[in-house]
Chains A and B, each alone.
Chain A
Amino acid sequence: MAVRGIDEKEEKKSYGSVFLLGSGLLVVISLWAFWDDNITRRPWKAVQAAFYRLDYRKAREAYEAEDKKLKADPAYQELAKKLAEEQASLKKGASANKLKALKADEIEADIGFGNLDQKVKFIKSELEEAWYEYDHAAQQGRDIKPYEEHIRGLDRQKAKLDPELDAARAKRDQIRDEIKKIHAGVKELETQLAKLAADRDKWIRVIDNVTVKLGPLSFYKIPNIRQLTLPEFDRNRFDEPMARVDRCQTCHLAINRPGFENEPEPFRTHPRREVLLADSAHPPEKIGCTTCHEGQGPAVNSREQAHGEVHYWEFPLRRKTQAQSSCVSCHFDAQRLQDAPLLAEGQRMFEQMGCTGCHLVKGYEDIPKVGPSLRRISAKVDPSWMVRWVENPHSFRPNTRMPNFDLKENDATSIAAFLWSVSKEEGDQWLQEHPAPAGLKEGDAALAAKGKALVESIGCKGCHGFADGEAATVLGKEKEIIPNLKNIAAKVGARWTYHWIKNPRDFSPATRMPSLRLTDPEALAIAAYLTTLGAKSEAIGGIEEKFQDAKNIKRGEGLVRKYGCFGCHDIAGMEKESRIGVELTTFGSKTLEDLFFGNRTEVGRNWDDWTYNKLKTPRIYATDRVEQVMPQFNLVDEDIKALRIVLAGFRERKTPPQYAADRGQRVTQVVEGRRLMHQYNCVGCHEIENRGGFIRKYYEQNPGLAPPILNGEGEKVQAHWLFGFLKEPIPIRPWLALRMPTFNFSDQEANALVAYFNGLSKVEVPYAYFDDRKVPKEHLDASRILFGKDYFNCLSCHQQGEKKPEGPSEGWAPDLNLARNRLSPAWIIKWLQDPQKVQPGTKMPSFFPGGPDNILGGKDERQIEALRDYIMSLGKGAAAPAGGRVASR
């Protein structure tokens, strides 16, 4: 019977299956959500769990190994046995009984002391109260007498109790001491055991670190994100500072822990951890990982995302050596860093290969043109040689820095014709003023032999090579910064060479070639020798006419402009031209969208591959419509990789100053001075910053005849002396055939070099005054004895003015008369204390410790000081040598 308005059928319908389905779905979805949240989307949890297992296993193994070692150690066994005996004796026997009695006594004594103590405390409180009442009465003008009496009464009570309390305390303490004494044996043994077992027990701490204890159970810790923030490290798109978030150590858990060197990633220890991750360097718990390695710091969803190796993330991970590109973000002076050798090599190449001739990079604007000036080139080279050189420099000198522009012969002829025409006037004038030297005969073998001997002895080989593969200084793996002269006769003639080597700056004021102060006969001999190296160039037919052809010259000018020859060479009339290449200041931050791949499909679609191929084959991305003009440098792979690291460091993101390493004036001076030093190739002859001295390879048999090593020079010599010496070198080691060249440094350059050496040596005060009046006479007297034959016999090796040492000159040491103007007094002390420490391998032996007992009380420090004073006073009478000209005292 149906009730109106009610659908009975509907009422009786069962929704059970729907609810079942619904709840089933809900359960499944909940489970899925849980799974997704904890496992699918948090892969780092599994990684961390795996690490905890690894860490636990390793710690356990280490613990057991140490435990085994320990238990086999007789010393440990004996101690353990003794301890067990001691512990047992405290449980049974006479000392156990005594201990028991003492403990009972202690309780009793403690109660006695406590009671007394409480009494005294109460009296003290009452006293406080009484004094208050007394003060109060006094202030209100009432009678204070009763209060006074009350206080006196309390004082008396306290005075009576005080000794009792002291006695009770003493008694209690004495009992405690006795108990302690009985326990002392065990305590002492326990400490000794713990000391022995320290190597084992430290592993317990490691185990405790990865586990949680719950009663008798022990679990691995629950994984959690390890996050680090660097406040204000980055800037957002509105140029507002924002924090850098770095979660790398969520997975890389052992990055700063020793013992994981051979584990698979991500659990491996960082290479050179002790140095690179040291607290004084880059502690990862403070500066994180992305500061050097980039990647996507906050991402933990997958390895690819965390490493930033996903589309649209602009800072992909920089692995291994690539991380060197980040050093420059914080270190202005990156060449000093011993763990970034590729970066240093790359920087040297970038500065000296001429990259900045075509490309502007902030911080590298002032690098002078790397090629020679062409203002008088017509007076210098053979015209046919010039055409061939322009066409392809590498066929004449495979390792030259000059790149190959891949020119057709007629293009090369046009360029040469243009360069010839703009240099003709100045060149001809120079030739007129510099006639062929008298006495130069073609094929004078005796003269050439003399020249060869000079070339081999005076230091030419510090820079130039004279045969195949003979080069002292190379840039990168094999580039010659300075020409190899093995076939120089094809390029230049004897007349030019003679005048050039006599005074290079007379021909080319901006040249880096120094003068070796050659006499006329010396220059003649060397010029004669150089004409024997290689054969004269074969003349190209009709070259005269081509060089005169105005159309050809005009065409050449166009090509010179197109290829930007003026980037590296000084060309008359093109002084104001600007760089033809793109600016590279932020090249390292270019994204794939910024890079033009042309039609190249075989080049990997990433910054690294693009850049590698660009440097390897500079015109690789040219297409039929897009021309590219960058020339071929013929770089080996290692050099390309070094350069790529430099380029990768040219970034848009700048590290804020609070994170950057020292950028003080001294660092700037070092960087600028080093650049100058490289331009003049000081490292060809001298070892500076533990690098260079390349000429030394010719002196392996007799290192005493090689140029001096200049590590620590800034600390060694006085600034004003060094300045004067750089301006006008004087022989310090007259026995050397090698000559320190005259570079004709400007004041600015010489100052920059002095600042460089001072900066390297961290010299705070470059000028030191030595006051003769303050030298005690006994110092001079003592030193005269020490100098003598019976003692240190200094003049056995050292020259002193006209007094020369006995024996062959290669065993001689510098003139001590020069010390006064030349050496820093503080350095002399350091040197005498331990010459080997200052200059490893020096012939100067250590006289200390072990000075004679009978002089200045046998005190080494006093003898050293006395010698310093004496040495500084030696040159006083002697005429100040040139080089000390700048500031005479």
Chain B
Amino acid sequence: MKTRNFGAFLLAAALVLPYSALAYDGAAVSDGGSISGVVKFVGAAPAAKKIDVNKDKEVCDKTAKSDASLIVSGGNLVNAVVSITDIKKGKKLEPIKVTLDQNGCEYKPHVAAFPAGSTVEILNPDGILHNVHSYSKVNTAFNVAQPKFKKSVTQKIDKPEIINIKCDVHGWMNAWLFVSETPYFSLTDNSGGFKLTDVPAGTYTVEVWHETLGKTSQKVTVKAKEEAKVAFEMGKK
């Protein structure tokens, strides 16, 4: 009987947890601290791999493209997303509007991070057929064609998930959407730096996600009105 109850509990927990138990509660934060730092890449920085444009060359091959799946700048990792995974209360979660541009058969930005409930506008200034295919599991997957006459497509993304976006017409086109449950996320900039602001004092699990290198995390303690400095290290396993 005991184990059965426990099983039922687990089931109930599994059903309920993602949406309610972990639900994030947002309000104004005063006296918040911040977390900042860099994500270091361990190992030899890979040389940029040129992408072989093998289709629609007259449009897609105008600009040289290189593989963006691992970009290291000055020993630091670009396009990683740093986020607090176990924060329940903090600043307000405000959905935003994100733009994903396919100009020249390449997604810009390559990684976009935004809160759940935001809308993504996908632009097609190329004048050729693209399709926007989300390989998502939590959110409803979409795969919409974007022919020449459709300059813009908008998709609302409701649930937190890391989504791979691809264009099946042009196999090299690849982008990532980091849909966050909380407002505490930061995409590392061109020097691998990040900053999370207005964090209420406390100890949190801070996680880095990178499309090629996976995830790593550490505990960080934030004091009111102070800046906590953190350095992450990631490398190929």
Residue from B149, B169, B171 within 8 A of A790 (CB atoms): B149
A850 to B5, CA, bound (A): 51
Is there contact, CB below 8 Å, between B129 and A793? yes
Please, which residue of chain B has its CB at the minimum distance from the CB of A810? Answer: B171
In the bound complex, residues from chain A placing their C-beta under 8 Å from that of B143 are 835-836, 842-846
A291 to B99, CA, bound (A): 58
Residue from B5, B133, B171 within 8 A of A808 (CB atoms): B171
Q: Nearest Cβ distance between residue A809 and chain B, in whole angstroms? A: 11
In the bound complex, residues from chain B placing their C-beta under 8 Å from that of A262 are 5, 8, 12
Query: Is the C-beta of A814 less than 8 angstroms from some C-beta in chain B?
Result: no
A654 to B203, CA, bound (A): 65
Q: Nearest Cβ distance between residue A796 and chain B, in whole angstroms? A: 5
A841 to B141, CA, bound (A): 8
Is there contact, CB below 8 Å, between A791 and B149? yes
Q: Given A262-B8, A836-B141, are A843 and B171 also a contact pair (CB < 8 Å)?
A: no
Which residues of chain A in 839-874 are interfacial with respect to chain B, using CB atoms and an 8 Å cutoff?
A: 840-847, 850, 852
Q: Nearest Cβ distance between residue A7 and chain B, in whole angstroms? A: 72
Is there contact, CB below 8 Å, between A792 and B145? yes
Q: Nearest Cβ distance between residue B172 and chain A, in whole angstroms? A: 10
Q: Given A262-B8, A836-B142, are A806 and B56 also a contact pair (CB < 8 Å)?
A: yes
Query: Is the C-beta of B156 less than 8 angstroms from some C-beta in chain A?
Result: no
Query: Is the C-beta of A261 less than 8 angstroms from some C-beta in chain B?
Result: yes
Q: Nearest Cβ distance between residue B181 and chain A, in whole angstroms? A: 25
Please, which residue of chain B has its CB at the minimum distance from the CB of A840? Answer: B141
Is there contact, CB below 8 Å, between B133 and A843? yes
A350 to B150, CA, bound (A): 55
Most buried by B among A789, A797, A843, A845: A845
Is there contact, CB below 8 Å, between A791 and B171? no
Please, which residue of chain B has its CB at the minimum distance from the CB of A702? Answer: B171
User: Interface readout for B166-190 with A: 1 if CB under 8 Å, 0 if not?
Assistant: 0011110000000000000000000
Is there contact, CB below 8 Å, between B147 and A847? yes
Which residues of chain A in 793-835 are interfacial with respect to chain B, using CB atoms and an 8 Å cutoff?
A: 793, 796-797, 806-808, 810-811, 835
A810 to B170, CA, bound (A): 11
In the bound complex, residues from chain B placing their C-beta under 8 Å from that of A810 are 171
Query: Is the C-beta of B69 less than 8 angstroms from some C-beta in chain A?
Result: no
Please, which residue of chain B has its CB at the minimum distance from the CB of A262? Answer: B8
Q: Provide the main secondary structure of the chain A interface.
A: loop
Q: Given A262-B8, A806-B55, are A845 and B145 also a contact pair (CB < 8 Å)?
A: yes
A262 to B132, CA, bound (A): 44
Q: Given A836-B143, A845-B143, are A791 and B168 also a contact pair (CB < 8 Å)?
A: no
Q: Nearest Cβ distance between residue A480 and chain B, in whole angstroms? A: 31
In the bound complex, residues from chain A placing their C-beta under 8 Å from that of B144 are 845-846, 850
In the bound complex, residues from chain B placing their C-beta under 8 Å from that of A811 are 55, 168-169, 171
In the bound complex, residues from chain A placing their C-beta under 8 Å from that of B133 are 843, 845
Most buried by B among A789, A796, A844, A846: A796
Residue from A791, A808, A835 within 8 A of B147 (CB atoms): A791
A835 to B128, CA, bound (A): 21
Q: Given A793-B129, A806-B54, are A847 and B145 also a contact pair (CB < 8 Å)?
A: yes
In the bound complex, residues from chain A placing their C-beta under 8 Å from that of B97 are none
In the bound complex, residues from chain B placing their C-beta under 8 Å from that of A847 are 145, 147
In the bound complex, residues from chain B placing their C-beta under 8 Å from that of A261 are 8, 12
Query: Is the C-beta of B131 less than 8 angstroms from some C-beta in chain A?
Result: yes
> Given A789-B128, A790-B149, A796-B128, 13 other A-B contacts at CB below 8 A?
A262-B5, A262-B8, A264-B1, A792-B129, A792-B145, A792-B147, A793-B129, A796-B55, A806-B54, A807-B54, A845-B146, A845-B168, A846-B142
Pairs A–B under 8 Å by Cβ, sample size 15:
A262-B5, A789-B148, A790-B149, A792-B145, A793-B147, A796-B128, A806-B54, A811-B55, A835-B143, A836-B143, A840-B141, A842-B143, A845-B133, A846-B144, A852-B149
